[in-house]
Amino acid sequence: MLFGVVIKSWIAENHKSNRKIGKVKPMGRKFDVIIVGAGAAGMMAGISAARHGASVLILEHMESAGKKILATGNGKCNFTNEKQGTLYYRGKNPAFVLPVFQQFDLEDTLELFQKLGIEPRSKRDGYYYPASGQASAIREVLLMECRYQKIRIAYNVGIRSIHKVENEFIFDTKQGEFQSSTCIIATGGKTAKKTGSDGSGIPYIEGFGHKIIDIVPALVALQGKQSFLPEIAGIRAENRVEIYIENEKIAEETGELQLTEYGVSGIPVFQISRYASYALQEEKEVYVLLDFLPWQTEAETEKMLEERFVTYGNKKSAYEAMIGLFPDKLIKVLLTQSGIVLDLSAKNCSKEKIKELVKTVRHLRVDITGTKGFESAQVTAGGVDTEEINATTMESKLVSGLYFAGEVVDIDGMCGGYNLQWAWSSGWIAGAYAGEGSKQI
């Protein structure tokens, strides 16, 4: 902790004093730091390295920077969250994020963005958005700061290879060769390919001898097997979703469930989806249990249904006894799945049948056959093995001067601004140490 605080103040001090440090003028195609990928993490790393006195070039294979930022938070960019902690991160070692956050945390992020012009607005569950409600504002302020810091961004760059020769990184690209003292790889994951993250950074990383933990889509909708799914498509309901792998409960989440033609979606499904992705890859049996009355105990549900069917069910059918509790499409499926005929007289519904209905309402099973894939996922789970990265500096333990930032690392956050927070924090730290490190070479 103390070490973290010391490092943090060292960085903060440098952060302030760096405005005075003169930039090392790039000698032609040679830079102190070259970053691969101009996404959230890459631009943040560039700003940090430049503020630490380094000359910076970012190599981007798309025609513009930060394309994915524009898609975040439904175009509004949920750029961080007031609740923080390892609890919100996944990967082989979620605690890997700690030393990074001890040096650059939520407060630092909000302060930095505020100084860049973003007025943060906290919404439900601590989600932060720019007050303008526009994701484009986040991208714009980052690009403005890149310009102000004289960071160069080479677009449509087409990297052929990256090598380290003695103390220098050599980048062979369609636009010729570039050299740098340190290199940061911030190429993201494999989600939303049209924004530029297509997994093409992985061969460079493997070329340096790094291990990649299997990558799978996360924060993604799940496909289900049951034939009743199209009948209830379009329903949104407060729900507790539990995921079981090989009959063992792995996780549960509560929130707004979305039922679709193909399966289940919505935030609670996204939050548990990474477990389904990995299990399906290993051909394990995966199912979810949907609880449509998560705020009640099962005894309360049973009492309520008995009242609806027996006490107040005079002259009503089983279907009519459920009206006002669930949407009509859902009533039909819940009754059918419980073996209750819709027009059965409610009063004639046996205790056993009501118990069966309680079970269905509280534990409707959907067998999971797949995910909606990288194209509809919000994040990639897996990436560079954190065992091979120094958690304090984000530097490779295998190749000195090589750093990583953002989603390319085997860390994936939960829904709620955690993936961007990881991109900002790991980007800042990688940039700070790579910037400092480049001056010692």
Number of residues that this document lists for the chain: 441
Q: Is the CB of residue 431 less than 8 Å from the CB of residue 40?
A: no
Distances (CA, A) of 371 to 108, 130, 220: 36, 31, 7
- Cα gap 1→412, rounded to integer Å: 23
The tokens describing 178, both together, are 């570039």
Q: Which stretch binds ligand FAD (CB under 6 A): 93-101, 141-149, 345-353, 402-410?
A: 402-410
Should residue 420 be labelled a site residue for ligand FAD when binding is judged by CB under 6 A? yes
Should residue 220 be labelled a site residue for ligand FAD when binding is judged by CB under 6 A? no
Q: Which one of 32, 60, 108, 302 is in contact with ligand FAD (CB under 6 A)?
A: 60
Q: Which one of 55, 181, 182, 187 is in contact with ligand FAD (CB under 6 A)?
A: 187
Binding residues for ligand FAD restricted to 267-326, rule: CB under 6 A: none
Residue 433: which residues within 8 A CB-CB, separation 6 or more? Answer: 393, 394, 395, 403
Q: Is the CB of residue 344 less than 8 Å from the CB of residue 316?
A: no
Taking the complex as a whole, the smallest distance from the CB of residue 393 to ligand FAD amounts, in Å, to 17
For residue 244, the number of C-alpha atoms closer than 13 Å in the C-beta half-sphere is: 13
Should residue 419 be labelled a site residue for ligand FAD when binding is judged by CB under 6 A? yes
Q: Which own/partner pairs from 307-313 qualify as long-range (CB within 8 Å, at least 24 positions apart)?
A: 308/346, 309/346, 309/347, 309/349, 309/354, 310/346, 310/347, 310/349, 313/345, 313/346, 313/347, 313/349
Taking the complex as a whole, the smallest distance from the CB of residue 342 to ligand FAD amounts, in Å, to 40
Nearer to ligand FAD, 61 or 362 (CB): 61
Q: Which one of 159, 215, 221, 259 is in contact with ligand FAD (CB under 6 A)?
A: 159
Residue 228: which residues within 8 A CB-CB, separation 6 or more? Answer: 333, 336, 337
Nearer to ligand FAD, 360 or 380 (CB): 380
Residue 151: which residues within 8 A CB-CB, separation 6 or more? Answer: 46, 47, 50, 56, 57, 58
Taking the complex as a whole, the smallest distance from the CB of residue 196 to ligand FAD amounts, in Å, to 2
CA angle 300, 305, 308 (to 5 degrees): 130
Should residue 94 be labelled a site residue for ligand FAD when binding is judged by CB under 6 A? no
Nearer to ligand FAD, 304 or 399 (CB): 399
The tokens describing 90, both together, are 């996944």
Should residue 99 be labelled a site residue for ligand FAD when binding is judged by CB under 6 A? no
Binding residues for ligand FAD restricted to 129-158, rule: CB under 6 A: 157
Number of residues in contact with ligand FAD, rule: CB under 6 A?
38
Q: Which stretch binds ligand FAD (CB under 6 A): 195-203, 237-245, 359-367, 383-391?
A: 195-203
Should residue 366 be labelled a site residue for ligand FAD when binding is judged by CB under 6 A? no
Q: Residues in the site for ligand FAD, rule: CB under 6 A? A: 36-42, 59-62, 68, 71-73, 77-78, 157, 159, 186-188, 191-192, 196-197, 200-201, 378-379, 406-408, 417-420, 423
